[in-house]
Structure 1
Amino acid sequence: MSNPRSPSAPRTRSQPAPIRGLALDVLGEWAKGERFASDLLERVQRDSGLFGSDAGFLRDIVLTTLRNLSLLDHWITVLTEGKHLDHRSRWGLRIGLCQILLQKVSEHAAVNETVAATGRARSLINAVLRRA
């Protein structure tokens, strides 16, 4: 997990927190099975300088996604018609669908920010999240 900012530099309003990218990093690391999600969240929050509502939103996305993995995977299978997905794309769809369908985050924000965080599979993730 890269840290483009030093932990001591406070985040400003002009520098929005890359919450979805951090969530993808935490979930990808959690999937390796070596650390608890809570430990990963604490480290990422500390290293990235997240606090307050940004830290709470990150924690909410990660934990809600983990609590609902089976349901999210079912929705992904239906929406992609069973298409094979790489791990990062699947996690991106999971957090995107989690925000839209479970957390009731603004669809525009959830889709745009999640797509921006996912990397090379942007077009697929964009299409699936907009379809949802």
Structure 2
Amino acid sequence: MTRTIRIGSEGTYLTLRALILRAPGQVTGLNVSYSAPDIAAAADLAFQAELLDAENLAWFFEEMARNWRGWNEPIGFRTSEGDFTLSADCDRIGHVTIRSRIITRRWSLDGRLHLEAGMLEALATTARRLLLPADHEAR
């Protein structure tokens, strides 16, 4: 099973790698990396509210997939510590923009990614498999 989600296109990517430090496969945080032609950065971010943060991040991807034809208000995710946020907008023709923010003690990075609505279902499925235990019930 993959332990990575890679989002983006055209040389700009956000990669989320699960940090699993406890059995049975509970995701306790993420290694988040952002790369673009002019910048690259990465940070390990611990989930303070482990299952809640993992559920909320999975929900973020699932909510985009459910509304693949576009939505009116941004869809967002924020870790309980506020050190990683995502916000997504989608227009009526299926262009999705995801804004990310990574905050560490020494630096912060704001990024922007673009993808097509047709990618959202596979992204949501991958996120659920990566972030949640197999026996976890959907919201």
TM-score computed with the length of structure 2 as normaliser: 0.27
Higher strand share: 2
- Specify which structure has the bigger relative contact order, considering alpha-carbon pairs within 8 angstroms and separated by 6 or more residues: 1
Higher helix share: 1
TM-score computed with the length of structure 1 as normaliser: 0.28
